Structure 1
């Protein structure tokens, strides 16, 4: 099935597989896992999970998940290996091991989060099929299970209410509207992981508009892979999470061969 991957992408994988220290950072929903109506039902495709786990066991190779999910939610659905580093809540939460400092909010941020949550709850109560999700530093309006017209109306109503809250950072995603009381994005997550690991090259794959911050943080020696449709600054594009399995399996082959030379 490898012929599904373009010659240009295969060449790029061959190049990055030889990095002195490779960081493989992946979004989860729509990337390792197909998108599903209910977020709690998401699971990584077995091939992606197996390949990422095997990559994490190779010398000078670090794996990471960089997700919009809160860390607890990400752990529940992705069941990552202990060695896998985690960035959650679009960069607001970071897990680099048991000694890492937990996220803490100021009293002002805590109050702002309460008011943002109340605003989104009022929208959910008035729009059938929409769902509220709370995060340690934010609140999310989910509209994937609502009719299209209801989803659009709910998103507009939530944005109008949240725009009145000074200090609230609003981000659009695929059928979600996210609000955080901390200014953070996946690009910051990629930069912090690069610094923490000392990676000489980074591979990042993602599918959503929020992943564009991560693509923008990549450097000349890195590799960005966009999954699905939509404008992107990524170097390469594949069409589905199923194709990501092929990418990771090929990278695993190449990285193993590089480690043996």
Structure 2
């Protein structure tokens, strides 16, 4: 048998991993029994693409697009839900113009942007003015508190992020910056979203949970699979948990596992081995659906 993460899932029969929780098994059973009413939603960085020191070099796992293209025609919808700008996720993922992904949707900036493969147009609300203010103030702010060395700023359009992965002690730098950046964000009406050695300053009231619930309801889905890897995915996990509790949908929560973040694994129905494991799961799911 070939490696399902590097070959087309239509030509292999990978084993479908089984969730460890009753709710997860129920969610998977719902997807398998009525795939035409299932939404498959996935984070990008750390889930479809490996985490790399320079986010601009992040690219989807080689098996991600083939697996998604095999799966998408068999389910209600496939959506990528990411903190990145939607157009960046499309470009770094190689998601545009792919046969099988003609109806793919990308919800960028935690749902503030939406790109769909039908129109190839990004729809977005007006940006929050606090982002521009923080963007202008942040370089001097980091220099003034002695945190410039080893940290760097990522421009994200509707948000701005400070990375500590290149610092001498990345975790210590992350911990030291969390409070001061929280105060800076609050002064400009923003919040800080912590991630894997990154602190993102962005507008409040928009998160992956809100975006996911709205999309699941828009699609009239009866089941949903959500896969993520980071703290920013916790709202999406919480949203699926509430939808399950309320009886609105049956759901499967998948953690793209890493040693850097354990909170998501503790809440997941199924933990897989990073993007490679996510791709294998998608490929296996595609082979199980008619």
TM range (shorter): 0.7 to 0.9
Aligned-partner Cα distance in 2 for 1:61–1:205: 17
Alignment match of 2:201 (pick from 169, 179, 204)? 179
Inter-partner Cα distance in structure 2 for 1:252 and 1:186: 25
* Aligned-residue offset at 1:132: 1.7
State the distance in 2 between where 1:147 and 1:7 align: 38
> Separation in 2 of the partners of 1:115 and 1:205?
33
Which residue of structure 2 aligns with residue 240 of structure 1?
274
The aligned runs of 1:11-22 (5 Å cut-off) are 13-19=28-34, 20-22=36-38
Conserved 8 A contact 2:16-2:281? no
- 1:76, 1:99 → 2: CA distance? 12
Aligned counterpart in structure 1 of residue 283 of structure 2, from 249, 254, 260 = 249
* Structure 1 unpaired stretches of 5+: 257-261
Q: 1:147 to 1:82 in 2, by over 3 A?
A: farther
Equivalent in the alignment of 2:55: 39
What residue in structure 1 maps to residue 17 of structure 2?
A: 5
SS at match of 1:83: coil
Distance 1:158 1:42, change over 3 A: same
Q: Distance in 1 between matches of 2:126 and 2:161?
A: 18
Give the C-alpha shift of residue 208 in structure 1: 0.3
Structure 1 residues 99, 45: CA separation in 2 closer, same or farther (over 3 Å shift)?
A: closer
Find the counterpart in structure 2 of residue 259 from structure 1.
none
Q: Which residue of 1 aligns with 2:93?
A: 78
- 1: distance between equivalents of 2:160 and 2:94? 23
- TM-score, normalised on structure 1? 0.84
Closer/same/farther in 2, CA of residues 7 and 24 from structure 1, 3 Å limit: closer
Equivalents in 1 of 2:208, 2:227: separation in Å? 12
Total equivalences in the alignment: 251
User: Do the aligned partners of residues 82 and 136 (structure 1) sit closer, same or farther apart at CA in structure 2, a change above 3 Å counting?
Assistant: farther
| 1:65 equivalenced with 2:80 (yes/no) | yes
2:151 pairs with 1:130: yes
User: How far off its partner does 1:243 sit?
Assistant: 1.3
| Alignment gaps of 5+ in structure 2 | 4-13, 96-100, 245-249
For 2:286 and 2:15, the matched residues in 1 are separated by 17
| C-alpha spacing 1:133/1:7, structure 2 compared with 1 (3 Å) | closer
Q: What TM-score does the superposition give when structure 2 sets the normalisation length?
A: 0.77
2:70 to 20, 41, 54: 54
Partner Cα separation in structure 1 for residue 156 and residue 102 of structure 2: 22
